[in-house]
Amino acid sequence: MPSTVRLLTPETADPRTPVVVAARRTPIGTAGRALAGLDVVALATPVLRALVDDVGPVAQRPDTVDEVILGNCMGPGGDPARVAALAAGLGLAVPGLTVDRQCGSGLEAVNVGALRVLCGDRLVLAGGVESASTAPTRLALAPDGARVAYDRARFSPDEIGDPGMGEAADDLARERAISRLRQDEYAVRSHALAVANADAGRYRAELVPVGGVDRDERPRAGLDVATLGRFRPAFTPDGTATAGNSCGISDGCAAVALLDEATRRDLGLPGLAIRAVASAGVHPRLPGLGPVPAVQSVLSAAGLGWADVGAVELTEAFAAQVLACTDAWGLDPLGADGDRVCAQGGAIALGHPWGASGALLMVRLFSRMVREQGPRFGVAACAVGGGQGVALLVERVG
């Protein structure tokens, strides 16, 4: 059964309600390329500073931020959230917490931040950061006692099944009869939307340039299904997940500022009130289905259905995973629901900086719903290695 916290229903106005009032991110760089010289602190610090500037005087005095919470998967340890808070000049008294729920870490950080505000904090900065380029090189102990190059963390015990995420995406595509063609069509859509939105300047207000980089590196113009059809299976010999319809390994940071509703109202800031958060477990062999019960849980907690939700953001780790979830919800991102699901492009085009990707969904929702005065209700959700899902439901206010 999903673990769900209903913060407040849409009909309830309460001064404690956590509200996202600012959302910022770095450009997303392909690992080893544009942002390769920046570690997690160098990526996170300017984003935190930008959020403080966005919130205004209430946040600009030292020690007025109650907490900094950042998701991170592969970084150096040592609590990067605290180091980045200090580097950003937020004050010696501002604590930092680094959380790891793998690909859902950035969204989990926002969920934890929302609960902190509900419990009495006034201002929390929450999000995620990843630098695949500067992640430490690690060694693991082999069965014979030798030290070998570390591959990845274990997601599940062997007796249950511990597939890599690419292998699991291929299994999911077979399980749910998701064709290679649909996956490639979805990938073409992701790139086309990302390029169009960048060219139209829709990312400009959310971006914090770093290292001389002011534009996402990965999106490609002019991709078509014929081009992607030439890509070979990337993970299993007869699989349908390829480098073309899967995300890229990336560097970047994204974060949001959370205020309580009373302070938001006093400042006159528009935002996204967080109405419910949830986490759920599914079988580790099909982790891509994790968002399905998590999202259903937040909708049920708020008394809403899909007819109420105008914006849906999913981490596009693999096209097969996104399509499996939308199929389960009865949504068609390649057709009638194209203006709802990842309508400004997602991780297949932009990239997937693991610990930051969940927070990137919140930046997308903020841009679509607040900056552009879009739908009233929105959902963000991530699938997580090991068979988990994380979800969050927001309502536009102000």
Question: What number of other Cβ atoms are within 10 A of residue 36's Cβ?
Answer: 15
Residue of 103, 253, 342, 382 marked active site: 103
End-to-end CA distance of the chain: 34
Residue 247 known to be catalytic: no
DSSP 308: G
- Among candidate residues 259, 15, 5, the one with its CA nearest the CA of residue 126: 259
Angstrom distance (rounded) from CA 313 to CA 393: 11
Catalytic residue among 253, 325, 342, 352: 352
Neighbours of 384 (CB within 10 A): 30
The encoded tokens of residue 394 equal: 């927001």
Quote the distance between the C-alpha of residue 344 and its chain's center: 14
Identify the CA nearest to 346 among candidates 157, 208, 188: 188
Residue with tokens 């990067």: 80
Would you state the structure tokens that stand for residue 174, as one six-digit string? Answer: 């077979």
3-state secondary structure (DSSP) of residue 4: strand
- Both tokens of 210, joined, read 């770093």
Is-contact 381 299, C-beta < 8 A? no
Please indicate whether residue 103 is annotated as part of the active site. yes
Q: For residues 17 and 3, what is the distance between their CA atoms, to the nearest angstrom?
A: 19
CA distances from 69 to 55, 292, 384 (A): 17, 26, 19
Give, for 188, the enclosing helix (H) or strand (E).
helix 180-199
**Closest by Cα among 363, 373, 379, 364 to 396:** 373
Contact 306, 331 (CB under 8 A): yes
Which residues participate in catalysis according to the annotation?
103, 352
